[in-house]
Chains A and B, each alone.
Chain A
Amino acid sequence: MATNETVLLEAVGVPDGHLLRSYESRGGYAPLVRVLAEKQPAEVVEMVKASGLRGRGGAGFPTGLKWTFLPKDHPGPIYLCINADESEPGTFNNRILMEDDPHQVIEGIILSSFATRASTAYLYLRYEYPRAWHRLQGAIDEAYAAGYLGKNIRGSGFSLDIQLHRGAAAYICGEETGLIESLEGKRAWPRIKPPFPAIEGLFRKPTVVNNIETMACVAQIFRRGVEWFRSIGVPADPANPRDPGSYGPKLYCLSGHVERPGCYEAPLGITARELIDRHGGGVWKGRRAKAVIPGGISMGLLTEAELDTPLDFAGPGKVGCLGLGTAAVVVIDETVSIVDFLHNSCRFFAHESCGQCTPCREGTAWSLRMLERIRAGKGRLKDIELLAEIGSTMGMMPGSTICGLADGAAWPIKNAVAKFRGEFEDYIKRTNPGGWMVTDPVPALPIVAAH
């Protein structure tokens, strides 16, 4: 098991670490030149497969395996879409990679494009990252000037363009087919799958969508080797043939009620408690944690008693959370009402649902309305059942929606109600002493804060 050495974050704090000469001085781009001279695309795919790298964007799908779904001998074009829409609440590691080490990302993109035979890589960047936009554009210009991008890169016969494309402040553009629709100039309505993007994606051509941190990992795999990558993290569970393991370093984003919020690099599998105590300086103000989000708000909640859960791809699921997600850990201290937390979560998803699927559109809107009513002192115990019902009926998991946004909306509801039920009951009884036992239908309150 590896160490606390920072690799993905090696440029952070380095003066001019974002410039080409700094990146090259750290060993950057030499691996690319070697790969282009010595390897075939299929060998590159095999190496990424062998590394055990799983996508860092939230779903944890094995990267090399995803690349093999592209059709063989396709006449092209094949596209690579780099997902830099990073909008999952709590998540900011892509921002740091793009601002502080854009060349690491670009080298990963070039290697991944070579492996997938993509001729154009579109980098879809959320609008709210102007600094990342400037840093990336500057780095792309440098890479063209140095011959790492463009036609016939370093005499290899391989050509690649990277195009920056800016979004317009919508969370759903991070869902891979929403991203594709948005890039095509349309509303970002996720597509029904199959067909998966590898078969029919951007502009109806075979397409791979990968996250920014995934690209940085690819660059480091070719700099430091497959064995190095596999030496870090949590190996596959031999008792579970479907577990691909959790290999490599991971960027954990720590925020909320901790002393030192920040982005910390650690081997996959660090526990939430270690992360909070060792890296984050503990819960702020000497308080206790009431609940902790393990990987972005969509993943649900850990209780204080569950903080020793390892944050690898398998860990959070074992305690009822949706998964590791983006590994964004948000600490909620003991003074916060879980009712207020859930209101914030429901408001986010009601705002960001694209409206295409009825269970998601209505479920997110009604859960917000109910939380507004509960917080206005008009809650009823029956509402807890209704919330639980919404939580268990909307999403890809029960099979009622097109994309995973609805699952992300459902999990905080599910976990909050299951793990903090007593707090909801107390809150409702305390704030609605005359009406908490009512079971008749009640009128909704006007929404104050949705849009």
Chain B
Amino acid sequence: MIAPRKILTDEMVAKIEALAPRYPNRRALTLPALHVVNAELRHVPLEAVAEIAALLGLAPAEVQDTLSFYQFFHQARPHGKVRAFVCRSVSCALRGGDELLARLCRDHGIEPYGTTPDGELTIEPAECLGACDFAPCILANDDLLKNMTPEAAAAELRKPRARAT
């Protein structure tokens, strides 16, 4: 008997199944499935891992192994409604990326990778965002914030931001 799903909605399952014909086996759906859940819940709790595993015919440990490798999927609690990746790789660092990250964390009273108590904003250090022509830059949900000063970034990160993907 398959236990009833608690986290994965019918809609999420439909989205995952719609991708199945793209791959010759179901294990390849692991990352897409994690993205489907993460896009909705802003994290992938352990129960969701077990449910994805059941859906794909894998051991929960296989899905958890993949999830934990990427450090991208929060698990214990959701990330903020806005997730801001602040680049700290070389081209951004040369133009103040580290200072930008430190300043934004201090102003919001959180550590890097932390979320504000109201759940609005998570600030994470990122490696090169592939936008070094706009250094220092931040990826806030789907929006690339270019040539950021701490002041401009503070104003930008207060804006609500949808995630289209």
Q: CB within 8 Å of B: which residues of A?
A: 77, 86-92, 94-95, 126-131, 133-134, 161, 163, 165-171, 182-188, 203, 253-257, 261-263, 293, 297, 328, 330, 332-333, 336, 341, 344-345, 347-348, 351-352, 354, 451
Residues on A with C-beta less than 8 A from B46 are none
List the A side residues contacting B132 at CB < 8 Å: 89-92, 253, 255-256, 261, 328, 330
Given A168-B73, A182-B31, A185-B29, A256 contacting B90 (CB threshold 8 A)? yes
**Bound form: Cα–Cα A379–B93 in Å:** 22
Known contacts A128-B139, A168-B73, A352-B127; A187/B66 CB under 8 A = yes
Q: Are A168 and B34 in contact (CB under 8 A)?
A: yes
Decide: B130 and A345 in contact? CB cutoff 8 A.
no
Q: Which residues of A contact B69 (CB under 8 A)?
A: 170, 187-188, 354
Q: Which residues of B contact A451 (CB under 8 A)?
A: 71
- In the complex, chain B residues whose CB is within 8 Å of the CB of A129: 130
A184–B90 touching, CB < 8 Å: no
Q: Digit string of B79-109 for contact with A (CB within 8 Å is 1, else 0)?
A: 0000001001111011100000000000000
Min CB gap B30→A, angstroms: 3
Chain A residues near B35: list those with CB within 8 A.
Answer: 166, 168
Residue B7, interface by CB 8 Å: no
| A185–B128 CB distance below 8 A | no
Q: In the assembled complex, which residues on chain A have CB atoms less than 8 Å from the CB atom of B71?
A: 169-170, 451
Residues of A within 8 A of B133 (CB): 92, 253-255, 261-263
Looking at the assembled complex, report how far the CB atom of B164 sits from the nearest CB atom of chain A, in whole angstroms.
Answer: 7
Q: Which of A91, A297, A330, A333 contacts B130 (CB 8 A)?
A: A91
B4 cross-chain contacts in A, Cβ below 8 A = none
**Chain B window 16-38, contacts with chain A (Cβ cutoff 8 Å), 1 for yes, 0 for no:** 00000011110111111011000
Give complex CA distance A262, B134 in Å.
8
Query: B141 CB to closest chain A CB, in angstroms?
Result: 8
Is B144 interfacial (CB 8 A cutoff)?
yes
Task: Enumerate chain A residues within 8 angstroms of B23, measured Cβ to Cβ.
Answer: 163
CB contacts (< 8 Å) of A167 on chain B: these are: 31
Q: Tell me the smallest distance from the CB of A86 to a CB of chain B, in Å.
A: 5
- Report if A297-B66 is in contact (Cβ < 8 Å); known contacts: A255-B135, A261-B132, A261-B133: no
Q: Tell me the B residues contacting A by CB distance below 8 Å.
A: 22-25, 27-32, 34-35, 62, 65-66, 69-73, 85, 88-91, 93-95, 126-135, 139, 142, 144, 164-165
A103 to B130, CA, bound (A): 20
The docked-state distance in angstroms from the alpha carbon of A167 to that of B144 is 18
Contacts of B30 in A (CB 8 A): 185-186
Least Cβ distance of B42 to chain A in Å? Answer: 14
Extra contacts besides A88-B128, A89-B128 (8): CB < 8 Å: A90-B89, A92-B132, A170-B72, A183-B28, A203-B25, A261-B91, A261-B134, A263-B133
Query: Which residue of chain A has the shortest Cβ distance to B147 in the bound complex?
Result: A261
Q: Which residues of A contact B135 (CB under 8 A)?
A: 255-256, 261
Within 8 Å CB of B126, what residues of A? Answer: 128, 169
Instruction: Name the CB-closest residue of A to B67.
Output: A168
Cβ A168 vs Cβ B94 within 8 A:
no
The CA-CA distance from A185 to B25 in the complex, in Å, is 10
A348 with B127, Cβ < 8 A, contacts A187-B66, A336-B94 known:
yes
How many Å lie between the Cα of A171 and that of B128 in the bound state? 9
Contacts of B89 in A (CB 8 A): 89-90, 297, 344, 348
> Which residue of chain B has the shortest Cβ distance to A349 in the bound complex?
B127
Nearest residue in A to B125 (C-beta to C-beta)?
A449
In the complex formed, the residue of B with least CB distance to A133 is B165
Specify the chain B residue showing the minimal Cβ separation from A92: B130
Residues of A within 8 A of B24 (CB): 77, 203
What separation, in Å, do the CA atoms of A272 and B24 have in the docked complex? 45
Asked whether, in the complex, the Cβ of A94 is within 8 Å of the Cβ of B130, the reply is yes
